């Protein structure tokens, strides 16, 4: 069974529960019409194939390049070069991230131009880049991961005090947006490359995770600092993002419409890494013809895969989930809405591209000791709860976002004490990984659809809340997994030799 077939199988398994619930809901609670359902099914097939091709591309192109970059940088043995490369790479990946671009434009229009899109894009990318470089520095200087995370989040809390609520929401959303479909695989691989040279195998394993977490904290900090500089202002929070115009009849046409934009987005986000690949090949890697061609082919796979994936998600998933959300929210019995929210969160996360990359990496780094299934289960439960909590917040407007976030992050940081460092790194990385394109489109559309059925619910505010929660809950559930794992892997029956 070759890798492509394997991926198609796994992704089909991941997408199937989503298709199932859409068909079932159409037959029972929320008749959304067969054309829309058929579009969802076509979208699902595109997502399965796009995702599989993309993952092959990650496997043979992006991951090898990332870890090779990390290793080559450390081998130069010059701290200056490592830091400088961290800054440049971090900045380039972040500024080309399609999710961040969309967010920056949304914010520019909501704030009526008070925060220009370009300014936000650059500020977030600078924050991201600085933290990537500091993350490199941490590994090289051997500063414990937990200490570093603690300092990061204390800083976030301290700044959050002085940040106005709108900016707080933007900050968390920006961090979710930057750690997107390409940044995560590349950062994960970089971290492995840098840490793999360490002699101490335990430390090398632990240092393989955490870089994504720092990078996303960097984005949060950057937006908060931006707020401090430009000061508190009054924004018109009533601006409507423009709800999705639902095309109810056509089945295939909507997909065609998205092909150019999806290709453009994928191309732009791959561009900086491709340029970096060619530059580094000339300067640093000096690979032979065959391995270099292999990496280039990997990038082609990633480009095709991303395009197909985005066409499937944008054309097939968005509207269905939005219609489903508002349909469920207008039912009298809200239990259904909450149950479906949990179900969607639970199953969608497994189809998130970066999640597969993270679990794959965990398997490789731990030689398969920490199983994909276990990590997926923890992630699914976490995101399921997160989406449910976001919907509860829409139903009861008196709950503020920080009522969730503040205790959540305090617990997350407190738990670090009791959880093995490896799992702390994985958990905080997973927070960034979970907020990928599936969450930012499919789940977001569902939550906003639900919000649109309520008087007094604010589309923008509730959407932001959801992404911040999806970033938080996996940190908690994965740390719990780590805690259980540690407790259960203690050797048993060592004194009682009971072999048969």
Sites of contact with another protein (CB under 8 A): 1-4, 6, 56, 59-60, 199-202, 205, 294, 297-298, 301, 363-364, 366-369, 371, 373-374, 377, 484-485, 488-495, 497-500
- In whole angstroms, give the CA distance from residue 358 to residue 348: 15
Largest CA distance in the chain: 75
Report CA dihedral (59, 173, 138, 382) to the nearest 10 degrees.
Answer: -70
Nearer to another protein, 229 or 494 (CB): 494
Nearer to another protein, 113 or 493 (CB): 493
Nearer to another protein, 238 or 499 (CB): 499
Tokens describing residue 459:
């589309």
| Minimum distance from residue 193 beta carbon to another protein (Å) | 16
| Minimum distance from residue 374 beta carbon to another protein (Å) | 6
Nearer to another protein, 2 or 234 (CB): 2
Mapping DSSP to helix (H, G, I), strand (E, B) and coil, where does residue 492 land?
Answer: coil
Nearer to another protein, 2 or 398 (CB): 2
Which residues have a Cβ under 8 Å from the Cβ of 421 and sit 6 or more positions away? 144, 145, 146, 206
Nearer to another protein, 197 or 252 (CB): 197
| Minimum distance from residue 62 beta carbon to another protein (Å) | 13
Nearer to another protein, 1 or 229 (CB): 1
Q: Is the dihedral of CA 436, 176, 475, 93 positive or negative?
A: positive
| Minimum distance from residue 484 beta carbon to another protein (Å) | 6
Nearer to another protein, 42 or 270 (CB): 270
Nearer to another protein, 247 or 363 (CB): 363
Tokens describing residue 110:
């909501």
| Minimum distance from residue 497 beta carbon to another protein (Å) | 5
Report CA dihedral (401, 129, 89, 69) to the nearest 10 degrees.
Answer: -90
Contact criterion met (CB below 8 Å) for 432 and 372: no
Which residues have a Cβ under 8 Å from the Cβ of 57 and sit 6 or more positions away? 298, 299, 300, 301, 302, 303, 304, 305
Which residues have a Cβ under 8 Å from the Cβ of 252 and sit 6 or more positions away? 42
Tokens describing residue 149:
């995370």
| Minimum distance from residue 379 beta carbon to another protein (Å) | 13
| Minimum distance from residue 487 beta carbon to another protein (Å) | 8
End-to-end CA distance of the chain: give it in Å, rounded.
37
| Minimum distance from residue 498 beta carbon to another protein (Å) | 7
Closest CA to 92 of 171, 190, 167: 190
- Helical residues (DSSP H) of 313-333, grouped into ranges: 318-329
| Minimum distance from residue 61 beta carbon to another protein (Å) | 9
Nearer to another protein, 4 or 225 (CB): 4
Report CA dihedral (444, 447, 450, 455) to the nearest 10 degrees.
Answer: -100
Query: What per-residue string of b and e applies to 185-213 under the rule 16 or more CB within 10 Å gives b?
Result: bbbbbbbbbbbbebeeeebbbbbbbbbbb
| Minimum distance from residue 494 beta carbon to another protein (Å) | 4
């Amino acid at each position: 069974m070759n890798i492509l077939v394997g991926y198609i199988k796994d992704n089909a398994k991941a997408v199937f529960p989503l298709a199932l619930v859409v068909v079932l809901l159409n037959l029972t609670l929320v008749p959304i019409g067969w054309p829309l359902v058929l579009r969802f099914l076509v979208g699902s097939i595109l997502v399965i194939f796009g995702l599989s091709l993309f993952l092959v591309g990650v496997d043979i192109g992006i991951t090898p390049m990332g870890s090779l970059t990390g290793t080559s940088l450390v081998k130069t043995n010059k701290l200056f070069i490592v830091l400088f490369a961290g800054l440049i790479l971090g900045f380039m990946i972040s500024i080309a991230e399609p999710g961040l671009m969309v967010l920056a434009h949304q914010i520019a229009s909501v704030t009526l131009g008070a925060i220009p899109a370009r300014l936000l894009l650059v500020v977030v990318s600078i924050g991201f880049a600085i933290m990537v470089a500091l993350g490199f520095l941490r590994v090289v200087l051997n500063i414990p991961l937990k200490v570093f995370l603690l300092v990061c989040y204390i800083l976030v809390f301290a700044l959050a005090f002085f940040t106005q609520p709108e900016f707080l929401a933007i900050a968390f959303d920006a961090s979710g947006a930057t750690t997107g479909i390409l940044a995560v695989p590349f950062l994960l691989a970089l971290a492995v490359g840098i840490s793999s040279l360490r002699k101490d195998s335990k430390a090398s394993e632990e240092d393989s995770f955490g870089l994504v977490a720092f990078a996303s904290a960097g984005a949060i900090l950057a937006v908060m600092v931006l707020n401090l500089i430009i000061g508190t202002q009054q924004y018109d929070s009533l601006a409507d993002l423009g709800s999705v115009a639902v095309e109810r009849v056509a089945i295939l046409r909507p997909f065609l419409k998205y092909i150019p934009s999806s290709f453009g987005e994928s191309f732009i986000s791959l561009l900086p890494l491709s340029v970096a690949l060619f530059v580094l090949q000339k300067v640093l890697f000096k690979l032979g013809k065959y391995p270099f061609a292999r990496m280039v082919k990997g990038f082609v796979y990633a480009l095709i895969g991303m395009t197909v994936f985005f066409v499937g998600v944008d054309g097939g998933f968005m509207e269905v989930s939005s219609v489903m959300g508002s349909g469920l929210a207008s039912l009298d019995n809200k239990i259904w809405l909450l149950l479906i929210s949990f179900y969607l969160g639970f199953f969608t996360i497994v189809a998130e591209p970066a999640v597969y990359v993270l679990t794959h990496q965990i398997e490789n780094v731990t030689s398969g000791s920490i199983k994909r299934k276990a990590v997926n289960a923890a992630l699914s439960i976490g995101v399921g709860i997160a989406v449910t909590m976001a919907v509860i917040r829409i139903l009861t407007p008196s709950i503020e976002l920080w009522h969730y976030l503040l205790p959540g992050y305090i617990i997350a940081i407190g738990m670090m004490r009791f959880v093995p460092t490896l799992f702390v790194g994985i958990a905080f990385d997973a927070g960034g990984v979970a907020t990928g394109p599936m969450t930012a489109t499919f789940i977001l559309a569902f939550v906003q659809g639900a919000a649109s059925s309520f008087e007094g619910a604010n589309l923008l505010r509730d959407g932001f809340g959801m992404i911040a929660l999806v970033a938080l809950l996996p940190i908690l559930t994965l740390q719990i997994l780590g805690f259980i794992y540690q407790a259960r892997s203690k050797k048993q029956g060592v004194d009682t030799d009971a072999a048969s």
